[in-house]
Structure 1
Amino acid sequence: MYIAITAQKLGQSYSNSAADYVAYLEKENEGLEQENQEHFFNQTEDRITPDKVISEIDANTAKLKKTEPKFYSIVVSPSQRELKKIADNPEALKTYTRELMKDYAKSFYREKPVTVDQIKYFAKIEHERTYRGFEKEVLENAPYRKRIAKLENDIRKVARGELKGTIKKLEQEIAALKEAAPHQINGQMIVAGMKKEGNQSHIHIIVSRKDVTNTFSLSPGSNYKASEVEMHGKKVQRGFHRDQFFEKAEQTFDRVFGYDRNFVETYTAKKTLVKNPAMFRMLLGNLPTNEKALALKLLSKSGMRIPSIPTNKVQLALKVFHRLRRGMQRAIESGSIGI
C-alpha cells in the first residue's frame, strides 16, 4: 500500500482552484463512452460531475490565506499483491474509500471527535499508473539510458563534423543498448512516465482544507502534527495523527477485503526499519518460516538486492538495509509510505 498526502501547489504557490487537478483526473475518461467512464464520488453520492467538484472545493475556502493550502490530495495505491486480492472491482474500491475517509476524520486531534460527515471530499478511481523515477525498473535501466543519451549526442556531433566516427555504428550501439536494458515493455525500455502493465487501479481523493460548513480548518499537513497549543489562555488540541491514519488505512483494507498482510507490508514494520534497523532484522528473523520466505520475496520485489540466504537464518546485508531505509525515510518525511 502506498499512500501520499500532499497539498496542491502550482510552483511556489498553492492552487487557488481545483480545476487543473480535476482536469488531470479526467484524462482517463477521454474517448470513452459514458457507461465506461469512472465518475467522482463522495461518502453518499456517486456519478458526481467534474464541475460540481470544482465549484464545491473552490467555494469552501473561507478565511484561508494565499500562503495556506486550499485542498489536499490523497493518493491510495494498493500494491500488486493487494490488487490481486481486490481483483477488478471498482465498487469494492469505492467501499474501501468510504471506510478510509472515516479513518481520516478520526485521525484529527480535537477535543470533539471529527466525523466523516464533516469532511468535504471527492474521490475518483483510476486504472492506469506510470513508472516513477525511484522505482526499481527505472533505476536499473538508468545506466543504459545515460549511455544512449551520450551516443545520441555523439551522433549530433558527428553530423556537425565536430567528432570523428560513423553514424551507422553509433546507431547500432544504441540499438544494442536498448535491447540489453533489463526492464522492457513490448520491446520498449522502461523509463519514468511509461504506463505500467496489468491491473493498476488506485484512488485519488480531493479533500477540502475546510470542513463542510466552511468554518473550521482541518489540515493533514506535516506541519500540523497532533499537539496542544495555548490560545486565549486555554489549551487547544490541534493537528493530525498521521501514523494513526496510515496504520488504520491498512487495517481497514485488511478488514474490507479479508487480506492477510505480511509483516514487511505493515506501516509499523516500515517505520521500524527507518528508526531501528537492528530491531527490524530481529523481528524479520523471528517470523515463522513461511511468512519469512514471503517477506523476503516482497522485499526483493520492492527493489532490494537480497543475497541468497536460508530463510531460517536471515542476516540481510547492511548495505541492502541502508538502501531501503533511506527510501523509507524519504517516503515518511514526505507524508507517504509504501512498499
Structure 2
Amino acid sequence: MYITITPQKLGANYSQSAADYVDYLEKENQLPGIEEKDHELFFNQEEDGISPETVVKEIDANTAKLEKREPKFYSITVNPSQYELKKLQNSSEALKQYTRAIMKDYASSFNREINGRPISVNDIKYFAKIEHQRAFKGTDFQVKENQPYATKILELKNQIRKIERGEMQGSLSSKKQQILKLEKEAPYQQNGQRIVQGMPKEGNQSHIHIIVSRKDASNSYSLSPGSKYKASEVELNGKLVKRGFNRDLFFQKAEKTFDNQFHYQRNFVETYKARKDFIKSPKMYFSAIAGLPASEKALAIKMLRQTGIPMVPAISISKAQLTVKFIKTIKKGIQIASKSASIGI
C-alpha cells in the first residue's frame, strides 16, 4: 500500500478551484468505448453517484477565510499493490468500502478538537473516485532505464528523415534494422513492446483518488494534513489548543484497516514499518528478511524483484552481501518504486 497526501498546486500557486482536478479524474469515463453504465462516479462517506459538478461546487464553496497562499483542498491517492488488489478480486465495491474505512482513520489522525470533542469522519468534507488504469511515467524505473535506447532510436529516425529528404547519405534499410534491434534490446518490455512514457500499464491498476477540503464540513475549522506538527498543544488566548496531524499514524492505521477488513496476510516488506526501518537501518532491514521463515522470505524477495531493484544472483541476503554500494542501489530502487506506486512497500 502506498498512500500520498499532497496539496493541489498550479505552478507556484495553489489551485483556487477543484474544477481542473475533477476534470482530470473524469478522463477514464471519457475514453472511447466506455459505456455510461460502466462509469466510475464520485462518492463520499454516505452517498454514491455524485456528479463532477457537485464535487466542484461543494469543494469550492468550502473555503471560508482561506487565503490564496493556502491550499483549498488536498489530494489523497491510495495505491494498493498487485497483491492487495488480487485479494480484493478487482472489486470496486471493496475499494469503496475501504475508502470509507480509512477516512475514519484520517479523521482520527488529527490532534484537534471541535467544540471539545475529537475530529470524526463527519467533520471531513471529501469526495473520492476509483480509477482502473495507470500509464508509465517518466519517473518509473522502466522508462528511465529504457531511455538510452529511446534516445538512439530517435536519432536514427531523424537520420532516416534526412536521408529521405536527400540531406544525408545512408541506407534506409540499415537504419530501420538498427531501430528494430534497439526496440528488442530495450531491457523493459510489455507485450513485446518497449515500455515508454504514457504507455498504459498492464494488469490490475485500480487505485483511489480522494479530494478532501482544507476546511471541515461546517466550513468553520481548518483541518490541514500538511501540518508540520504531529501532535502538540499551543496556548491561544489563554487556552491550550490541540494541533497537528500524524501522517505516520494515518498510514499505519490505513494498513491495519486493510488487513483486518479483508483478512490480508501482509508480508514483512509490504509493511509501512519495514519501509521506515529500512531508511533508518538498511542492514537491520535485510537481516530481518534473512530471518523470515522460508516461504515468507521467498515472497519478500519476489516482491523486491518486482520493484526493478538490481538484486545479487540467487539472493540469500547474507551479511557479506550487505555492502554500502548494494544498500544504496536497493534504497534508490525502493524510492523510485514507491513514487511510481509499482509496489506498495
Greater shift, 110-119 or 135-144, is seen at 135-144
**Cα distance in structure 2, aligned partners of 1:74 and 1:204:** 6
Structure 2 residue 101 is the aligned partner of structure 1 residue 99: yes
Give 5+ residue unaligned stretches, structure 2: none
Pick from 118, 122, 127: which aligns with 2:123? 118
* Contact 1:123 1:204 (8 Å CA) reproduced: yes
**Cα distance in structure 2, aligned partners of 1:115 and 1:49:** 25
* Contact 1:155 1:170 (8 Å CA) reproduced: yes
Structure 1 pair 326/113, CA: closer, same or farther in 2 (3 Å)?
farther
Pick from 168, 171, 183: which aligns with 2:173? 168
The residue identity in structure 2 corresponding to 1:254 is: D
* Contact 2:124 2:212 (8 Å CA) reproduced: yes
Greater shift, 135-144 or 77-86, is seen at 135-144
Greater shift, 247-256 or 136-145, is seen at 136-145
* Contact 1:306 1:316 (8 Å CA) reproduced: no
Partner of 1:199: 204
Structure 1 pair 310/303, CA: closer, same or farther in 2 (3 Å)?
closer
**Per-residue deviation, residues 144-198 of structure 1 (Å, max 9, x unmatched):** 1122123234345555666553343222211221122232334431112211112
* Contact 1:183 1:189 (8 Å CA) reproduced: yes
Pick from 64, 87, 104: which aligns with 1:62? 64
Q: Give the drift of 1:99.
A: 0.3
**Cα distance in structure 2, aligned partners of 1:261 and 1:22:** 33
Partner of 2:231: 226
* Contact 1:16 1:70 (8 Å CA) reproduced: yes
**Does the residue aligned with 1:297 lie in a helix, a strand or coil?**
helix
**Cα distance in structure 2, aligned partners of 1:137 and 1:333:** 13
Structure 2 residue 324 is the aligned partner of structure 1 residue 324: no
The residue identity in structure 2 corresponding to 1:217 is: S
The residue identity in structure 1 corresponding to 2:107 is: A
**Does the residue aligned with 1:17 lie in a helix, a strand or coil?**
coil
Greater shift, 249-258 or 233-242, is seen at 233-242
The structure 1 segments of at least 4 consecutive aligned residues displaced by more than 6 Å after TM superposition are 330-334
The residue identity in structure 2 corresponding to 1:109 is: N
**Cα distance in structure 2, aligned partners of 1:245 and 1:332:** 17
Partner of 2:27: 27
Q: Give the drift of 1:296.
A: 1.0
- 1:1-339 to structure 2, matched below 5 A, reads 1-30=1-30, 31=32, 32-111=34-113, 112-156=117-161, 158=163, 164-221=169-226, 223-309=228-314, 311=316, 313=318, 315-326=321-332, 338-339=344-345
Greater shift, 130-139 or 39-48, is seen at 130-139
* Contact 2:287 2:317 (8 Å CA) reproduced: no
Structure 1 pair 281/80, CA: closer, same or farther in 2 (3 Å)?
same
* TM value normalised by structure 2: 0.89
**Does the residue aligned with 1:16 lie in a helix, a strand or coil?**
coil
Q: Give the drift of 1:102.
A: 0.4
**Per-residue deviation, residues 194-214 of structure 1 (Å, max 9, x unmatched):** 111122111111100000000
**Cα distance in structure 1, aligned partners of 2:332 and 2:303:** 18
Greater shift, 218-227 or 186-195, is seen at 218-227
* Contact 2:283 2:322 (8 Å CA) reproduced: no
Structure 1 pair 172/227, CA: closer, same or farther in 2 (3 Å)?
farther
Give 5+ residue unaligned stretches, structure 1: none
**Per-residue deviation, residues 287-331 of structure 1 (Å, max 9, x unmatched):** 222211111111111111111346484745543421332455689
**Does the residue aligned with 1:251 lie in a helix, a strand or coil?**
helix
**Cα distance in structure 2, aligned partners of 1:157 and 1:228:** 69
**Cα distance in structure 2, aligned partners of 1:15 and 1:217:** 17
Structure 1 pair 8/224, CA: closer, same or farther in 2 (3 Å)?
farther
**Cα distance in structure 1, aligned partners of 2:237 and 2:337:** 37
The residue identity in structure 2 corresponding to 1:4 is: T
Greater shift, 274-283 or 156-165, is seen at 156-165
Structure 1 pair 152/194, CA: closer, same or farther in 2 (3 Å)?
same
The residue identity in structure 2 corresponding to 1:144 is: Y
* TM value normalised by structure 1: 0.91
**Per-residue deviation, residues 224-274 of structure 1 (Å, max 9, x unmatched):** 543443433444321210111111111111111111100010011111111
**Per-residue deviation, residues 130-156 of structure 1 (Å, max 9, x unmatched):** 112333322332221122123234345
Structure 1 pair 261/10, CA: closer, same or farther in 2 (3 Å)?
same
Structure 1 pair 307/327, CA: closer, same or farther in 2 (3 Å)?
closer
The residue identity in structure 2 corresponding to 1:101 is: M
The residue identity in structure 2 corresponding to 1:165 is: G
* Contact 2:140 2:337 (8 Å CA) reproduced: no
